[in-house]
Amino acid sequence: MYKRTEVLGNIHQKTLNYIKDEKLKKSYVVYRKEFQNTESFNKIYPYPIHVDIEIDNFCNFACVFCPMGQPNNKMNKFYKTSYKLEVNKIFELLDECKEIGVKSIQFNIVNEPLANKNIFKIISYAKKLNFDDIYFISNGYLLNEKNSLKILESGLTKIMFSLDAFSPETYSERRLKNKKPASYSKVIKNILNFLDIKKKKNKKFPLVKVSFIVMKSNKHEINKFKKFWENKVDAIHIQKFIDYEDKNLVTNYVNQTKCIMPMFRLSIKSDGNVRPCCLPYGENINLGNIYKETLLNIWNSKFMKNFQQMHLQNRAYENKFCTKCLKNTNA
């Protein structure tokens, strides 16, 4: 099976340990069972298990390894125009997700959720619907004390902080919108302060993950990164780098022929278009639009079923964007 991420820490067992309500615990077990069935390519359910909702397309960072920070990348064009989903539309989407059987919701794709003024209102609505997992990924730059307290009371089940470094020098590859280097010390201070507040308030949720995308410029810091965070957070994600500029930095051939994402996931962009995965190459593969079709119809469309079969039958190379994604992911 093809995996882009090495996960250190059994975050799902921790989740079960912390859920006190037996009904919610049983529901979480069902959710993980469904996910495992799709992850192993054994079953595709008549509904997506997980849905990404990109509430807007704004990020306060413009990282050099992300299409948002690559002005010459064709995928950068999408971020030159401002898009956002209205709150009521997001509520409608959440109602629909719950009705059709979706178990897990993530409130971003490329955007920074803490930059959206409505994020906590949105999370609160999702919490009332009792999704098994509600989470988002953040760069942590806006994780001040006020936002930390709001997160702890929001109903978020998991949060992941994208770091990709263990030193100010390596972290300087990240850029703010004004092109100045981001402050490594500020982000680390924010996260450690959040963990401290969480501990003092005796909060179990959200469980906390940190991530590290492996690149030539930072691979020498992996072990130090792991050692620093292993006793501080609930899980560590070591992720493969994907060359979105298609510069053949990784390999000239594809040795993987299928991907798990279309088996369980739909990703809703901030313009309403729906993709089969959360990765930028997937933004070239449009399944439909939430303003024209229901999620269930999109998931069960002929195009999506054929797309899933292509991956199940090890024919991902037939789609040029899937090929690029697989080819440009480091081994």
DSSP string, 214-250: E-TTTGGGHHHHHHHHTTTSSEEEEEE-B-TT---SS
- Per residue, the 3-state secondary structure of 295-331, as one string, reads HHHHHCCHHHHHHHHHHHCCCHHHCHHHHHHHHCECC
User: Please, how many CA atoms are within 13 Å of residue 105, restricted to the half-sphere of its CB?
Assistant: 28
Report pTM.
0.94
Mean pLDDT on 237-251: 72
Grouping H, G, I as helix, E, B as strand and the rest as coil, residue 266 is strand
- Per residue in 36-73, pLDDT tens? 999 999 999 999 999 999 999 999 998 888 888 788 88
- From the list 217, 215, 235, the residue with the least C-alpha distance to 12 is 235
pLDDT higher than threshold 70 for residue 246: no
Q: What is the pLDDT of residues 258-285, one digit of tens each?
A: 999 999 999 999 999 999 999 988 989 9
Q: What is the pLDDT of residue 243?
A: 72
Token pair 């469904």 is found at 34
Distances (CA, A) of 295 to 66, 126, 127, 225, 281: 28, 17, 20, 39, 21
Give the DSSP letter string of 130-195: T-SEEEEEE-STT--HHHHHHHHHHT--EEEEE---SSHHHHTTSBBTTSPBP-HHHHHHHHHHHH
Q: How far apart are CA 311 and CA 9, in angstroms?
A: 29
Q: Which residue has the higher pLDDT, 187 or 281?
A: 187
Query: pLDDT of 2-30, one tens digit each?
Result: 467 899 999 999 999 999 999 999 999 99
Look up residue 133 and give its two tokens: 């997992």
Mean pLDDT to the nearest integer, 97-109: 98
Q: Which residue has the higher pLDDT, 29 or 180?
A: 29
Ranges 31-45, 168-182, 217-231: which has the least confidence: 168-182
Q: CA-CA distance, 75 to 56, in Å (whole number)?
A: 16
- According to DSSP, the residues that pair with 65 across neighbouring strands are none
Contact of 130 with 103, CB cutoff 8 Å: no
* pLDDT attached to residue 1: 39
Residue 172 has pLDDT above 80, yes or no: yes
Please tell me the predicted confidence (pLDDT) of residue 99. 98
CA dihedral 327, 9, 191, 148 (to 10 degrees): 110
Q: What is the pLDDT of residue 271?
A: 97
At residue 180, the pLDDT reads: 84
DSSP state of 84: B
**Separation between Cα atoms, residue 200 and residue 182, nearest integer Å:** 28
